[in-house]
Chains A and B, each alone.
Chain A
Amino acid sequence: MAKKYIDVAAHFDTNGQIIPIIFWWDNGKCYRIDRVTEIRRAASLKAGGTGIRYTCRILGKNRYLYYDDYARKWFVEINENF
């Protein structure tokens, strides 16, 4: 598993909560996040690092999206040979 930083468009609500809406893959394709089912701080042991972990429903599948609040970057865990 490796770490892949991605571009994300997010909604910052009046309570200060950040909810990701869309993210872009490096081939330019964009994916809409249908629903965020869980938000919690978690370590990514596979990709390395820690951050706010969003469990997202994307195209009918659950995916983890991390916001590294120290580096201020979004990342996902991907297979090394992806």
Chain B
Amino acid sequence: MERTILHCDCNNFYASVECLYHPELRGIPVAVAGDSQLRHGIVLAKNYEAKKCGVKTGNPLWLARQLCPNIVFVRPHFDLYMNFSKMCREIYSQYSDRVEPYGLDECWIDVTGSTWLFGSGAAIANSIREKIKSELGITISVGVSFNKVFSKLGSDYKKPDATTIIPFNDFRKIVWPLPVSSLLFVGRATASLLERKCIDTIGKLAQTDRRYVKDWLGKCGETLWLYANGYDTSPVAAIGEQPVIKSIGNSTTMPRDLINYDEMKITLMVLSESVAARLRQHNLQCETVQISIRGTDLSWIERQEKLAAPCCDSTTIYLKAYELLKKHHQNGKPVRSLGVRACNLSLRRFDQMSFIPSVQKSRSHEAVEEVLDNLRSRFGNKIVQRGIMLTDAALSALDPQTNYHNLVLSTVHSQ
């Protein structure tokens, strides 16, 4: 049976919400941007007026101002965006019990079983668009197709406030002429590799021998080939279905460039504490610790190493992160941003008792940190702090657990 899958994408989500709350900003170029004082000064989202001037997401503020002199920068309000995202999902869930979020502003909806109640996929898409516009005051683009990949393509096809239908009979005519980079999971590196092989459209990828694509790109290549041919059969997750967490990480751009290790230690400790607390919150432990280092020239490296035993305490994570930093970072070279990530996660309930002293120490740290978690949940994250935090107020002011924009939670969906 042919499925009917919708992909709903909120147009310029952050900027649209800001313009809704500030009617005086409508019609003029607006960008939602981070705080330049804290060196987070990049464009996070922009409206169509700013886009017309050439402003792009990720542009530094000076460049955005150069491209568009009358641009207005507004500070982000993540709580508000999360509330809008929740309200959007509530509207989607009126049409189906299969609603799978893809970030804050995008969702897949499987309405195969609802077409008897609400009409065709296109009718449901239009109804959702109208509802979101009248109830929430923002616009969405909807793609309607028979699989998730093409419905996502459809929502990107025509913007803003539009419905694009990619039917099974006609998908070759609509999808195949599109550039290969518009296909889901084709990033810059994959697109340039395919271009070197003279594959610049989705159609050319679909018509290439599957074995060649697998040879060039491995398993991912085979998946992309299936997507290009319309063979994506992945289901849309049900409402409330929790995605499996693959890794938990936090990163931050420091208020100033850090040169000596004593300063970096503070940031690593703040990040490790947050990562460990979030691991315990999800009842997980990690086997691998990964760090990311960005220099002042914006060069970026990621290094990881395995732990002696799985853990979820900040001390063990911090010690490994610091060890990695000393091993892979050239002493004296300034650092702009740091990140700590816990990978290779497993559930804590399969924990085995150990006679190894370092593991026993880690367990006792975990017990202490659980008490700290309890205190922090009641009185705030600053109620108990490590002594190292008192050495630099500016660096230890970072509170990754409560700042949404610093939070990086990687997930994969169970298939």
Contact = CB atoms under 8 A, between A and B. Distances in A.
Do the two shown chains form a genuine complex with each other?
yes
Interface of A: 1, 40-50, 70
A82 to B, nearest CB: 15
B379 interface: no
14 contacts: A40-B135, A41-B87, A41-B135, A42-B135, A43-B135, A43-B136, A43-B138, A45-B137, A49-B137, A50-B87, A50-B135, A50-B136, A50-B137, A70-B83
A33 B313 CA distance: 58
A39 to B, nearest CB: 12
A42 B135 CA distance: 4
A45 B235 CA distance: 37
Given A70-B80, A70-B83, A49 B21 contact: yes
A48 B23 contact: yes
Contact of A48 (B20, B133, B134): B20
B22 interface: yes
Interface secondary structure of B, over-half rule:
helix
Contacts of A41: 87, 135-136
Nearest to B22: A48
B23 A50 contact: no
Contact of A43 (B22, B83, B134): B134
Counting contact residues on chain B (CB < 8 A from A), the size range is: 10 to 19
Nearest to A53: B135
B83 A46 contact: no
Interface in B118-145: 133-138
A42 B20 contact: no
Contact of B23 (A40, A42, A47, A70): A47
A75 to B, nearest CB: 12
Given A47-B23, A48-B20, A49-B21, A42 B134 contact: yes
Nearest to B133: A43
Contacts of A46: 23
Contacts of A1: 23
A42 B80 CA distance: 16
Contacts of B21: 48-49
A45 B83 CA distance: 18
Contact of A44 (B80, B83, B133, B137): B137
A51 B273 CA distance: 38
A45 B136 CA distance: 9
A42 B132 CA distance: 9
Nearest to A40: B135
